[in-house]
Amino acid sequence: MTPPVIELDRVGRTYPGRVHALRGVSLRVRAGELLAVVGPSGSGKSTMLQLMGTLDRPTEGVVRLLGHDVARWGDRQLAAVRAKRIGFVFQQFLLTAHLTAAQNVATGLLYHGVGHAEQVRRSTEALERVGLGHRAAHRPAQLSGGEKQRVAIARALVSGPAVVLADEPTGALDSATGAGVLDLLRQLNDEGTTIVVITHDLGIAASLPRRVELLDGRVRHDSASASR
């Protein structure tokens, strides 16, 4: 059987001062899934995102990416894995102001060792995939909030990652624009992209195929387990 894209096996994360951000969390994300991790502020969502994205290490338990225990990798190898296998989308877009949309997307290929022509080809394809091929030469100041988030999604996709982690991807957008971004994520998932959405919005979580609810650092409900 193909291993999960991401697996948390009885994972805990404790910060100085005995702050238990996560407590014994187990979760498997299979290839092709679209799921929401939802919970109020302080529930452990951000910590889970950091562990899934190999940005932090657990205090206890095991985090696996494509079947590999990430604790066995050094910092340099983890950085390479993040660049090639994980796409990140953040609430505030994090685009570079002086770069065009295409150039911002191409930054997702910095660790791939591809030439300029290949960077242009892949970034153009990624922008076309999110419906922004006609805005490739525009800088962030010339784009709407929804367009900026689409550029950020294209940047996350350009390396062909195993999974996209989207942290409150509609949080900085109005409701109509946010709905459009969610529709895009559903479309990308239909095309085969594995996507995890981190959100505090129960409505968004309820609209996605799988919902994982966190509270006080524990998984309170997983709709996949409930359906089984």
Got the DSSP string for 94-109?
---TTS-HHHHHHGGG
What's the CA gap between 126 and 182, in Å, rounded?
17
Average of pLDDT values for 154-183? 93
- Does any domain span residue 1? no
Please report the pLDDT score of residue 2 as a whole number. 85
- Does any domain span residue 21? no
Is 60 exceeded by the pLDDT of residue 227? Answer: no
CB burial of 15-28 (b: ≥16 within 10 Å; e: otherwise) equals eeeeebbbbebebe
Global model pTM greater than 0.75:
yes
Is 60 exceeded by the pLDDT of residue 73? Answer: yes
CATH of the domain at 177: 3.40.50.300
DSSP 8-class letter at 134: G
45: domain range? 32-57+75-212+220-227
Please report the pLDDT score of residue 172 as a whole number. 87
Please report the pLDDT score of residue 152 as a whole number. 95
What's the CA gap between 199 and 92, in Å, rounded?
14
- Mean pLDDT, the chain, integer: 93
What's the CA gap between 89 and 164, in Å, rounded?
7
Percentage of residues in the chain with pLDDT exceeding 90?
86
What's the CA gap between 156 and 224, in Å, rounded?
26
- Does any domain span residue 9? no
Q: Which of 53, 65, 49 is nearest to 9 (CA)?
A: 65
Is 80 exceeded by the pLDDT of residue 111? Answer: no
Is 70 exceeded by the pLDDT of residue 102? Answer: yes
Please report the pLDDT score of residue 51 as a whole number. 96
Query: Which residue reads 């998932």 in tokens?
Result: 189
Is 90 exceeded by the pLDDT of residue 4? Answer: yes
- Does any domain span residue 91? yes
pLDDT tens profile 113-124: 889 999 999 999
Please report the pLDDT score of residue 226 as a whole number. 60
Domain total in the chain: 1
| 166, 198 Cβ separation under 8 angstroms | yes
Band (225; pLDDT cuts 50, 70, 90): confident
- Does any domain span residue 14? no
pLDDT tens profile 81-95: 998 899 999 988 999
What's the CA gap between 79 and 77, in Å, rounded?
5
- Does any domain span residue 3? no
Average of pLDDT values for 178-198? 94
- Does any domain span residue 170? yes
